[in-house]
Amino acid sequence: MRIKKTVEERLKQLDVALTADSQEICKPDERIAIFVPKRNIETWIHYLQGETVNETDAYTKFRKNEAICKPGVEQLVTQCSQGNLDENVPPSLQAACGELQRLLPLLDRI
């Protein structure tokens, strides 16, 4: 299976689906984070565990061991909040980091 759509194209699909359902599209000041993996979230988890990944291959799920990703996610949050991502981060994960950086200041206002 070849994944051809970009993160931006996937986000546009969300906007189209929301509009078609008579809902408003997400606004930049909403406290909603939209994370869009290019293929699947397992790509990100494998990357966070130190593996070299690409965004076209399928990576195994962590059935019955989902908590294995927690240390990597905590590391990612730290890297995102400090603006200190590795150079080889998958582009879709970099976009998710930008979304997290957008959301964190909004959460501080709660």
Of 6, 27, 24, residue with least CA distance to 16: 24
Q: What is the pLDDT of residue 1?
A: 47
What is the DSSP secondary structure assignment for residue 100, as one 8-state letter?
H
Q: What is the pLDDT of residue 3?
A: 59
Q: What is the pLDDT of residue 110?
A: 65
Amino acid at 48: L
Task: Report d(CA 50, CA 44) in Å as an integer.
Answer: 10
pTM reported for the whole predicted model:
0.78
Task: Report d(CA 75, CA 110) in Å as an integer.
Answer: 24
Domain ranges of the chain: 7-108
Print pLDDT tens along the chain (110 aa): 455 788 889 889 999 999 999 999 988 888 888 888 888 888 998 998 889 999 989 899 888 888 888 988 888 888 888 888 888 899 999 999 988 888 888 777 76
